[in-house]
Structure 1
Amino acid sequence: MRSDLSSSQTQTVFPPELEQMIFEIAAYSWRPMIPTLLLIAWRVKIWLEPLLYRTLIVADDRTDDSRLSLNTIGQNIPTAVEPEHLLSLIRTKPSGFFRDSVRNLFLAHAVRDEELTIVSACSGIENLWLGHTTICAINDLKTHRLKRLHCTFEALFGETGADFTQPLFAVSTWIELTRLPNLTHLAFGDQNYLEMVASFLPHWESLRAVLFLSRASSLDDTDPFNAYGDWVHGVHLGCDFWSRADEFIARRKAGEVDRLDYWVPGINYGETVDVALSDVEV
């Protein structure tokens, strides 16, 4: 009896702060393990559930972007969720949960009301990829603290599309975009409007880089466009077309790259895009 009492008295107990740090390191090291870790104890669930939703991929079979599958991206991926399931979670989770949890959002959806609900709930996002079928427009993001945005011009101009027969409408939309105070990186998959974008650069105080993504001409047309995988890679490891653009800009400003060179090649872990880049001199 005395032996048992002595054993319980000398049992090592981690401080809660250290215990939380250990579990968070484990969660970041292998994200697919997070759902299992949530089952250990209630306190662990409180610590780690926000990390489970730190990055969300929202896609359904109503969009071409639904080819973004778990097998395409790999195993150590963020949370991929169907819109209906996410909307259910938004209704049942405490107010502010997704605002405080989600920082990276890949949205490939085609139902405007549902998109607005998702974007409104995830108002803390800093890194947003809007699929080409997404209806969400820039006016829906005014309250967000976006730093990195990848989208189509259709997403910027909303359901009416980029109607350049109405110059005032086009200009007002771009002015709204330049007023996103934290936006530092902007990427498009279409180079047709490069000159128009360039005309707004002097008014964009926060912007550091504009990227135009394009498929490398040497690729077979049947190969998957792996910018999705690159985006996920960057979310996890910080190495993606954004970081390569920043490195390229730094090298060019240091005189290591010709100042007339605006092309950043992809890298060889499956990346299939080149990046046409225009940096903003401050």
Structure 2
Amino acid sequence: MDSEPLFPPEIEREIFETTALVHSGTIFALLRVARRVLIWIEPLLYRVIRVGHENSSMVRALVDALASKPPEFVHHAVRHLGLDSIYSPCTASEGRQLLALCKGLVNFGSTNGFTDPLLLPLLAEMHVQRLALNLVDLFGATPIDLAHPLFRSVTHFDIFGFDGIVEVLPDVPLLPALTHLCVNSHISRQMLLNVLVDCPRLRLLLVQWHSQERDSYDLARAHHEYDARFVIGLYGDYWAEWEAGARGLPDQWTQGDDFIARKRNGEIEATRYWLE
């Protein structure tokens, strides 16, 4: 039986939704409070989906659950999808089925085991703003095409791997909405600086080194006054950070933006370009 509301519905809804968003672990308990709360909160249960080794066995159940919902529900509910484990029992086919259901995505990330040319038409139907994947795996045997419709709304692009990136860097200005770009540490610094010259609307070009490359990263930090938008940093658990960003917490993008703002405000010396 539905419990009687204590506050006006709009205030009560805001309280429950804020609680669910800030403390996602409470969602299952909140779903049992009252039917009206279930209607408000259930979409938030699916707002961020990260498929990793620990929960990949649930993907089939997740696909079935979403397939049973009205398309409008899924469209508005699932906003962030990360397929993060190449060792996952979840198959590439199941990953594609999940992606095909989530037509309202704004954020999609995928490791090599889930990335192939079959994703191209699925992504082209969406308006993804944040994208993280390997371009060579995505396009397969066909040439990488940054003019492909899937890129038309991408603002934040994290390109995994090294193969094929150097060849397409001159095409980065073709991405009409791009403001943030992240690449790995094995690309020529001068090539990256050329990208910044050719793409003035780019706000951040982040070069990420894995924490296991700490020694090389330290050697790369000689003082030099580069373009303020050029930043290098370390990462540890990439997908944990991806999920944090999807949930509105600090991530690589917000840290990079904050670093650049502090540098331009004179809080950081002009010759520093590395994140701690």
1:227-238 aligned at under 5 Å gives the runs 227-238=238-249
Structure-2 residue corresponding to 1:30: 23
Q: Which has the larger radius of gyration?
A: 1
CA spacing shift, 1:13–1:229, aligned 2, 3 Å: closer
1:94-243 aligned at under 5 Å gives the runs 94-108=70-84, 111-136=91-116, 137-157=119-139, 161=140, 163=141, 169-171=142-144, 173-176=145-148, 180-212=151-183, 213-216=208-211, 217-218=213-214, 225-243=236-254
SS at structure 2 position matched to 1:196: helix
Structure-2 residue corresponding to 1:45: 38
CA spacing shift, 1:124–1:253, aligned 2, 3 Å: farther
Q: TM-score, normalized by length of structure 1?
A: 0.68
SS at structure 2 position matched to 1:40: coil
1:232-279: per-residue Cα shift (whole Å, max 9, x none)?
2222343101222333455667786759x7x643x5xxxxxxxxxxxx
* Unaligned residue ranges in structure 1 (runs of 5+): 1-10, 60-65, 71-79, 164-168, 268-282
Matched residue type, 1:114:
E
1:85-130: per-residue Cα shift (whole Å, max 9, x none)?
1111122222232211011111246634423321121111111111
Matched residue type, 2:152:
P
Matched residue type, 2:98:
I
* Unaligned residue ranges in structure 2 (runs of 5+): 184-207, 216-234
Give, in whole Å, the separation in 1 of the partners of 2:133 and 2:264. 27
Give, in whole Å, the separation in 1 of the partners of 2:5 and 2:177. 50
Matched residue type, 1:17:
E
Cα drift, residue 225 of structure 1: 4.3
User: Contact between 1:55 and 1:104, CA under 8 Å: does it hold in 2?
Assistant: yes
Cα drift, residue 181 of structure 1: 2.5
CA spacing shift, 1:206–1:257, aligned 2, 3 Å: farther
Instruction: Name the count of aligned residue pairs.
Output: 222
Q: CA RMSD in A?
A: 3.0
Percent identical residues? 26
Q: TM-score, normalized by length of structure 2?
A: 0.69
